């Protein structure tokens, strides 16, 4: 049987192809305040492609309107704020699910950022060279931190990695020279090469990983011989015999009572240190509080008065504080 193609059938096929092509197209447009968006006509979604405005405090809208049509902003594209050295703060809407490569690279005045919970990954070099960044809130939706993600964030003193994260890319926190403490959750199965390279102020590492990684370069150029490592007690011997972990100056087991590096926020207890002074606050009056060195030497004992208890210790040391039946630890500045 011969196949016959009519002009009508050919036109229908061509129109279908053109329609599919048009649906897949994206278009860019720039707003008066310096935002350039890439918009998808099929999904009605937009990605922030570039910001070249002059504002130091930026609020990214959840929706943008173009020619009467509304597009939801769902991603921050590669390099969209890269080199914005005057940017001090940015508000990211909860509609955003991904931060692209080099997203905030070189934003040297950015001091803090809160990442919304729908975000699942931080792209390579996402916050690289954000030298004024002191804090970052990583939501529990994030599963991976890209390569060089926080490299040279020289003002970042501590970071909480959520238990949803499974991998940290190479050089993830390299050259974070103010980083004093870090907690690696048990969910992490992969630490990239040079992950904590050059973290010259690192004093406390809590590592809950069950997979003990053998990689000499994880803490290269970081003085871990002066730092304390806390690991699951059942894996203590393995960590003590595996590089680079065995090179930590002090290796101690985690206990059920010990909590995070920053103290016990779920109990309303806070610990602050400065110039060797330790102040424990948020306590019930009369609570018995004691302070020890990591080798068990008591530094002092006090009964909370006015909700606080105070101690002194050597600057640049690690102490263990017992408040009632709870125990936590901190690096003394």
Residue 265 has pLDDT above 70, yes or no: no
* pTM for the predicted model, two decimal places: 0.73
Q: Which of 71-85, 93-107, 179-193, 254-268 is the least confident region?
A: 254-268
Q: Largest Cα–Cα distance of the chain, in whole Å?
A: 99
Domains and CATH numbers, the chain: 25-254 (3.80.10.10), 263-332 (2.60.40.10)
Residue 6 has pLDDT above 80, yes or no: no
pLDDT above 70 covers a percentage of the chain that reads: 86
For residue 176, name the pLDDT band (cuts at 50, 70, 90).
Answer: very high
Q: What is the mean pLDDT of residues 250-273?
A: 62
- For residue 264, the model assigns a pLDDT of 40
Residue linked to tokens 């595996």: 242
Q: What is the mean pLDDT of residues 28-40?
A: 90
- For residue 294, the model assigns a pLDDT of 64
Q: What is the mean pLDDT of residues 240-262?
A: 78
Q: How do beta strands 112-114 and 135-137 pair? A: parallel
Instruction: With CA atoms as reference, report the closest residue to 137 among 83, 92, 101, 198.
Output: 92
- For residue 284, the model assigns a pLDDT of 85
54: tokens are 């002059």
Residue 23 has pLDDT above 60, yes or no: no
Q: What is the mean pLDDT of residues 47-54?
A: 94
185 touches 165 (CB < 8 A): yes
Residue 51 has pLDDT above 80, yes or no: yes
Q: How do beta strands 63-66 and 69-76 pair? A: antiparallel
State the number of CA atoms in the 13 A half-sphere of 214 facing the CB.
4
319 touches 313 (CB < 8 A): yes
Phi, psi dihedral angles at 159 (to 5 degrees): -150, 140
Q: What is the mean pLDDT of residues 89-105?
A: 95
Can you name the residues that pair with 75 across neighbouring β-strands?
47, 98
Sheet holding 326-332, edge to edge: 298-303, 288-293, 317-323, 326-332
DSSP reduced 3-state for 224: helix
For residue 18, name the pLDDT band (cuts at 50, 70, 90).
Answer: very low
The pLDDT tens digits of the residues spanning 288-327 come to 898 887 666 789 899 999 889 999 988 777 788 888 767 7
Residue 263 has pLDDT above 50, yes or no: no
Phi, psi dihedral angles at 39 (to 5 degrees): -115, 140
The pLDDT tens digits of the residues spanning 187-244 come to 999 999 999 999 999 988 999 999 999 998 999 999 999 999 999 999 999 999 999 9
Share the mean pLDDT of the chain. Answer: 86
For residue 8, name the pLDDT band (cuts at 50, 70, 90).
Answer: low
Can you name the residues that pair with 47 across neighbouring β-strands?
38, 75
């Amino acid at each position: 049987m011969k196949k016959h193609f009519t002009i009508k059938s050919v036109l229908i096929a061509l129109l279908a192809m053109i329609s599919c092509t048009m649906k897949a197209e994206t278009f860019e447009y720039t707003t008066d305040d310096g935002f350039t968006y890439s918009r998808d006509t099929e999904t009605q979604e937009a990605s922030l492609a570039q910001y070249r405005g002059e504002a130091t405090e930026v609020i990214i809208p959840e929706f943008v309107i173009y020619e009467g049509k509304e597009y939801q902003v769902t991603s921050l594209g590669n390099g969209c704020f890269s080199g914005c050295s005057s940017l001090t703060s940015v508000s990211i809407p909860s509609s955003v699910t991904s931060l692209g490569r080099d997203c905030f690279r070189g934003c040297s005045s950015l001091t803090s950022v809160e990442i919304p919970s729908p975000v699942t990954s931080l792209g390579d070099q996402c916050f690289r060279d954000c030298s004024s960044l002191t804090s970052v809130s990583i939501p529990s939706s994030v599963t991976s931190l890209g390569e060089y993600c926080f490299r040279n964030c020289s003002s970042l003193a501590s970071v909480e990695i959520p238990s949803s994260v499974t991998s940290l890319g190479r050089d993830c926190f390299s050259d974070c020279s103010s980083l004093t403490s870090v907690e690696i959750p048990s969910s992490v199965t992969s630490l990239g090469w040079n992950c904590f390279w050059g973290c010259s102020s690192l004093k406390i590492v809590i590592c809950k990983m069950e997979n003990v990684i053998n990689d000499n370069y994880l803490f290269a150029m970081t003085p871990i011989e002066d730092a304390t490592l806390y690991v699951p007690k059942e894996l203590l011997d393995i960590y003590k015999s595996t590089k680079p972990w065995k090179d930590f100056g002090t290796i101690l087991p985690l206990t059920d009572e010990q909590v995070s590096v920053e103290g016990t926020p779920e109990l309303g207890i806070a610990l602050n240190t400065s110039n060797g002074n330790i102040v424990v606050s948020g306590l019930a009056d009369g609570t018995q509080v004691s302070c020890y060195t990591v080798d068990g030497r008591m530094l002092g004992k006090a009964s909370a008065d006015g909700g606080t208890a105070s101690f002194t210790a050597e600057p640049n040391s690690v102490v263990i504080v017992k408040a009632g039946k709870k125990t936590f630890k901190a690096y003394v500045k």
